[in-house]
Amino acid sequence: MGSETIKLPIFNFSELIQGSKSPNWESVKNQVKFSLQEFGCFEATYDQIPQNLRNSVFEGLKKLFELPLQNKLQNKSNKLYHGYIGQHAKVPLYESLGIDNALDDGSIESFTNLMWPEGNHDFSKSIQSFSEQLSELDQIVRKMVLESLELEKYVDEQIQSTNYLIRVQKYDPPKSHETELGLPAHTDKNMVTILYQNEAKGLEVQTKDGRWISAQSSPNSFIVMTGESFHAWTNGRLHSPQHRVMMRGDVVRYSIAIFSVPREGYIIKAPEEMIDEEHPLLFKPFDYSKFLDFYYKDMDQKSFGALKAYCGA
């Protein structure tokens, strides 16, 4: 269950200008594509989100998870893993809440008022600002990938095909001195995930050759990861990595993740430019929401290879 400490590639997105053909943009986009092909993830610095806002987000998360259970249970969703999760026998250290369609008008404020009926303007404002700026980083990454694959004509379609899910997460430290599972190994099913985490280590990513490596970012950076939907859309050009959380030590782990999620009814289909003799079609076109229904019906049996089982060509 051990992991190696190997530093993920790290790229600075702070001074990039979208659409510019500057050497910096061209260099970073090619490295981004290579990292997502080889690792399925990388570390990103992005100074557009100032440190005081990041600190405010974590202060808000601590107060959120300190709320009475009855408040947190109000975070309900008809989609599995989009609402409150806690006190689960398989992941006793893990607790999380979700905000679906997070950037739609009023979504974050509605969530805030559900948790704090008296209101909490500071929490709502910081999560809103943080999420909006993180969504811009997501769009830069996807634009870079499509440019590097010579698929520029699909950029607008790709960006407009998604909305955003926010998940805030807390991991308690193990009660023993042994390393304990915080979250089981899995792949994300969406397009792209961007994760911001505090100083408590725990995130591990599996390499293509089966090694587990530590993916701890710095307080100034984010982890960017490919989901299975982007893997399918690019006809396997990008790698979607298995990852897990292993808890050790005595520090509570907090994280916030933004997931770019295909919109209801959007059909994920690899562009014809991605299909040739060397790269035959891997997945038939599929509806993301229907795939999730299939996956969630029997997760334990379908944790690995669910997409291939559902729509493999």
Section 257-270 average pLDDT:
96
The values of phi and psi at residue 282, to 5°, are -95, -35
Tell me the per-residue pLDDT of 57-113, one tens digit each, with 9 for 90 and over.
999 999 999 999 999 999 999 887 789 999 787 899 999 999 999 999 999 999 999
Dist CA 36 CA 205 (whole Å) = 13
Q: Are strands 286-287 and 267-268 parallel, antiparallel or unpaired?
A: antiparallel
- Would you state the pLDDT for residue 38? 95
Give the CA angle between residues 208, 33, 11 to the nearest 5°: 100
Superfamily designation of domain 10-273: B-lactam Antibiotic, Isopenicillin N Synthase; Chain (2.60.120.330)
The values of phi and psi at residue 301, to 5°, are -85, -20
98 CB-near residues (< 8 Å, 6+ apart): 75, 77, 81, 82, 83, 84, 165, 166, 167, 168
- Would you state the pLDDT for residue 216? 76
Q: Is the distance from CB of 164 to CB of 261 less than 8 angstroms?
A: yes
pLDDT for residue 274 is more than 60: yes
DSSP-assigned letters across all residues of 205-233? EE-TTS-EEE-PPPTTEEEEEE-HHHHHH
Conformation bin of residue 308: beta by default, left when phi > 0, alpha when psi is -120 to 50: alpha
What are the residue ranges of helices labelled H in the chain? 23-38, 51-65, 69-72, 107-115, 121-148, 155-160, 228-233, 288-297, 299-302, 306-311
Please indicate whether residue 198 or residue 87 has the higher confidence score (pLDDT): 198
What radius of gyration, in Å, describes the C-alpha atoms of the chain?
Answer: 19
Q: Is the distance from CB of 42 to CB of 32 less than 8 angstroms?
A: yes
Q: Is the distance from CB of 15 to CB of 142 less than 8 angstroms?
A: no
pLDDT for residue 283 is more than 60: yes
Q: What is the pTM of this model?
A: 0.94
Longest CA–CA span in the chain (Å) reads: 61
Please indicate whether residue 20 or residue 308 has the higher confidence score (pLDDT): 308
What are the residue ranges of helices labelled H in 116-201? 121-148, 155-160
pLDDT for residue 147 is more than 60: yes
Which residue from 37, 24, 54, 15 is spatially nearest to 195, judged by alpha carbons?
A: 54
Section 241-250 average pLDDT:
94
Dist CA 212 CA 6 (whole Å) = 9
Task: Determine the distance from the C-alpha atom of residue 37 to the mean position of all C-alpha atoms in its chain, rounded to a whole number.
Answer: 17
Tell me the per-residue pLDDT of 164-187, one tens digit each, with 9 for 90 and over.
999 999 999 998 889 999 999 999
What average pLDDT does the structure give for the chain?
92
Please indicate whether residue 221 or residue 87 has the higher confidence score (pLDDT): 221
Please indicate whether residue 18 or residue 51 has the higher confidence score (pLDDT): 51
- Would you state the pLDDT for residue 7? 78
Q: Are strands 10-12 and 41-45 parallel, antiparallel or unpaired?
A: parallel
Joined together, the tokens standing for residue 2 give: 């051990």
Q: Is the distance from CB of 297 to CB of 309 less than 8 angstroms?
A: no
Please indicate whether residue 294 or residue 21 has the higher confidence score (pLDDT): 294
pLDDT for residue 304 is more than 80: no
